[in-house]
Amino acid sequence: MRTLKALAEVFSLDFRGDPDTVIDGIGTLANAVPGQLAFLANSKYGAQLASTRASVVVLSAADADNCPCACLISDNPYTAFARITHLFDDGDDIAEAIHPTAVIDVSARIGNGVRIGPYCLIGRNAVVADGAQIHGHCVIGPDCHVGENCVLLPRVSLVKRVHLGQRVRIHSGAVLGADGFGIAFHEGQWIKIAQLGGVRVGDDCEIGANTTVDRGAIEDTVLENDVRLDNQIQIGHNVRIGAHTAVAGCVAIAGSTRIGRYCLIGGAAGIIGHLDICDKVVIGAMSLVTHSIREPGEYVSGTPILAKPEWRKNAARFKQLDAMARSLNALKKTQE
């Protein structure tokens, strides 16, 4: 039973309203029903506050006077809300045991309190540290290390030489440690380069569904601590991503590029190989980074979306841009 007073105490928040108000779920400001807790973190949604049916709203002190119901007050309502959500999460569905169908190599070491779901494979010299949860159908290959309290949702592959820190969470379908894309062209055909490195993932990282992180050619591919990867991201071999960087879905980062700390990479952006991106860089959605970036800030490529007839006539001029610039310069000279 979660009451307003209990939440205020657990999260060290001030509150207004009946301390015994019971909260039995989470809703949005617009659609919450009585009994639910909502939040207001963005003034854009302030107009929804007056009419909310939520029983409690998490908001800033500035908004408290306008709240029609009980509230929890935070300097950072979004963070407070983020923390509260976990009270209402029913967790992952996995038994507190190692399922008898898991195939575990005799050389693997399994820690205390580890849970392993049905049909998992744990390979040669793999380590699964204390408290880790490996859901069904995961494949943990040779020389992999799953740190303490990691959670691998169903159907994750750690192919080879993947080292996870603590509390890493990996979603279904992700593949870490597959061969990097290393090939040499010789006399009309491709020769494969063996990929002898691994993948090292720091503490508190999250890796989305169907994301791929290749293992390094010689040295390792590295995600530092608290890197957050959304779904369907491709990280090439020997990439290094700095701590606290967040990457949105479908981003492609080519081999050997280094990305700094506290960067935000927008959805479906691309970064070519062998670049250096410094700390605190923001890349726009679907932008392509083709050179190193040495100054923090926001970077974008591409053109605005237009109705097709408008797009067509303007895009047709793109290939005349250089000629236009030359004509313009010539005209300016004439003018002078």
Q: Which residues are catalytic?
A: 237
> Which two tokens mark 27?
């809703």
Q: What one-character DSSP code corresponds to residue 69? A: S
Which residue, 112 or 303, has its beta carbon nearer to a copy of itself? 303
Asked if residue 98 binds a copy of itself (CB under 8 A), the reply is: no
Q: Is 211 helix (H, G, I), strand (E, B) or coil?
A: coil
Interface positions, 55-74, toward a copy of itself (CB under 8 A): none
In angstroms, the CA 162 to CA 297 distance is 32
CB atoms within 10 A of CB 297: 9
Contact by Cβ (8 Å): 217, 197: yes
Q: Compute how many other C-beta atoms are within 10 angstroms of the C-beta atom of residue 150.
A: 24
Does 294 help bind a copy of itself (rule: CB under 8 A)? no
Q: Which residues in 211-230 contact a copy of itself (CB under 8 A)?
A: 212, 214, 218-219, 226, 228, 230
**For a copy of itself, which stretch binds (CB under 8 A), given 11-19, 46-54, 58-66, 169-177?**
169-177
Among 63, 142, 224, 260, the residue binding a copy of itself under the rule CB under 8 A is 142
Contacts of 90 (CB under 8 A, 6+ apart): none
Choose one: 4-12, 13-21, 62-70, 280-288; the region binding a copy of itself (CB under 8 A): 280-288
C-beta separation of 213 from 198 below 8 A: no
Q: Does 209 participate in binding a copy of itself (rule CB under 8 A)?
A: yes
Candidates 252, 258, 276, 279; binder of a copy of itself (CB under 8 A) is 252
Range 99-128, binding a copy of itself (CB under 8 A): 99, 101, 103, 117-119, 121, 123-124
Q: Nearest distance from residue 33's CB to a copy of itself, in Å?
A: 12
Between the CA atoms of 137, 142, 144 and 148, what dihedral angle is there, to the nearest 10 degrees? 60
Build a one-symbol-per-residue string for 8-27: x at contacts with a copy of itself by CB under 8 A, - elsewhere.
-----------------xxx
Tell whether residue 191 is a contact of a copy of itself (CB under 8 A).
yes
Q: Which is nearer to a copy of itself, 20 or 82 (CB)?
A: 82
Containing H/E element for 38? strand 36-39
Q: How far is the CB of 87 from a copy of itself (least distance, A)?
A: 8
Q: Is 202 in the site for a copy of itself (CB under 8 A)?
A: no
Q: Which is nearer to a copy of itself, 22 or 196 (CB)?
A: 196
**d(Cα 172, Cα 156) in Å, to the nearest integer?**
5
**How far is residue 292's CA from residue 295's CA, in Å, rounded to a whole number?**
9
What is the β-pairing status of strands 264-265 and 281-283?
Answer: parallel
